[in-house]
Structure 1
């Protein structure tokens, strides 16, 4: 067995990079609808009558179909629990549950019991609020950090149940990092809370975005640089982000 990893560590690893992907996808899709056919392994976004983002506005017939769709599972308010797709009695196909099963193996290898158990009560997940929406968000971020697949969607499955998907399509890729965007990601994501180790979260984000990291003695600050990015992240005595300062010139 490899060295253990906690669910909270995976959440910290995903915090900023997941948030940036969410921002980018929202900007690109704009107003939209979606539908999924799990028997065919098909997930599609469709442009709304008005307000479609550039990705859908340029798509043929106003529709964009994901190259791959991975159903992670569902969070239901009735039992107040998360259910992995490979354990769902509906019996989804292997092509749509293969990533969830890979995560089960990851959980077994790194001693993350929440990834191995078929069903996990909301009360046993690190949630700010024990409901279906927050449960789906947490599991999606854990799955992103473990698999390094960063495009997600969660949708209404009826009756208050939320379904979680990871999607693959080359059109979703992030552009090169930009100083203003990086500063926005680091500051806005803090308001959502849920980050236990801010230094770990910043380091994981910088690594994921290809930013050079220069840490100050005692880890009181970190300078993040790349073409068009030159920022200093300051940490307070409790190790929390205390400010983001620096040059944010366009790339």
Structure 2
């Protein structure tokens, strides 16, 4: 990524790969309850499948009262440093690239691209967006956020070997792309699809004019055409594996 990027760019880089990880998380844990011990740095799911995460990272919290997000590195509570170190890495990235929403201790909801204009907006939206930004910086792609009282939502990145995605298969990749285009607030489709393909280990190459993107694997190919606004104008996909 270049030095001149915005939070909207980072969110596009994250959006589709993040969605696939969250869909996979749901497949792994099913119907569940959760519990976290921040002092012991222990995050546990119980329900359809009992699972203890191998690592947990507190990224921050979104509170409806002030209508703002507070990064974990700036929280006055004396949390263990390993619990908040990823939030500090996000801060340093924000400072390096001049992205105030990542570098500032507290971020008003209305300052987040795709977030709400009113502080009364559900904090879940802002928590999800800023978790996505943190995924690009940290390389940790599975997240969880939940209410912890008074409408405030705590946001975590969580790790476990079972959260790793399976190899990309044609039906799954197409389903993820279709769901992303229908549901996600992408600012730049061209950037988002390229970022997803690269993050998924797929081939990704633009034509000389930059208006077509070829996404390739040994088993399938997806050719995407973009309009002058970097939005998708057409998709042609085919598989060679019979899937």
With over 3 angstroms needed to count, the CA separation of the structure-2 counterparts of 1:250 and 1:96, relative to structure 1, is farther
Q: What secondary structure does 1:219 align onto?
A: coil
Using the size of structure 1 for normalisation, the TM-score is: 0.89
Matches of 2:96 and 2:204 in 1, distance apart? Answer: 29
Which of 191, 202, 219 is residue 210 of structure 2 equivalent to? 219
**2:109–2:115 contact (8 Å) kept in structure 1:** no
Using the size of structure 2 for normalisation, the TM-score is: 0.91
Which of 181, 189, 211 is residue 180 of structure 2 equivalent to? 189
With over 3 angstroms needed to count, the CA separation of the structure-2 counterparts of 1:66 and 1:231, relative to structure 1, is same
| Pairs within 5 Å for 1:56-95 | 56=49, 63-95=50-82
With over 3 angstroms needed to count, the CA separation of the structure-2 counterparts of 1:122 and 1:250, relative to structure 1, is farther
* Deviation by residue 1:59-96 (Cα, 9 ceiling, x = unmatched): xxxx2111110000000001000001121222222121
Matches of 1:12 and 1:185 in 2, distance apart? Answer: 15
Instruction: Give 5+ residue unaligned stretches, structure 2.
Output: none
Matches of 1:164 and 1:198 in 2, distance apart? Answer: 26
**2:14–2:196 contact (8 Å) kept in structure 1:** yes
Aligned position for 1:138: 129
With over 3 angstroms needed to count, the CA separation of the structure-2 counterparts of 1:151 and 1:240, relative to structure 1, is same
With over 3 angstroms needed to count, the CA separation of the structure-2 counterparts of 1:175 and 1:250, relative to structure 1, is farther
Shift in Å at residue 128 of structure 1? Answer: 4.2
Aligned position for 1:108: 95
Instruction: Give 5+ residue unaligned stretches, structure 1.
Output: 57-62
Let me know the Cα RMSD of the aligned residues: 1.7
Pair 1:173 & 2:173 matched: no
**1:179–1:231 contact (8 Å) kept in structure 2:** no
**How many residues align structurally?**
237
Matches of 2:204 and 2:73 in 1, distance apart? Answer: 39
Matches of 1:210 and 1:250 in 2, distance apart? Answer: 21
Shift in Å at residue 161 of structure 1? Answer: 0.8
* Deviation by residue 1:2-52 (Cα, 9 ceiling, x = unmatched): 8232111100100110011111111121111110000100001112xxxx3
**2:15–2:184 contact (8 Å) kept in structure 1:** no
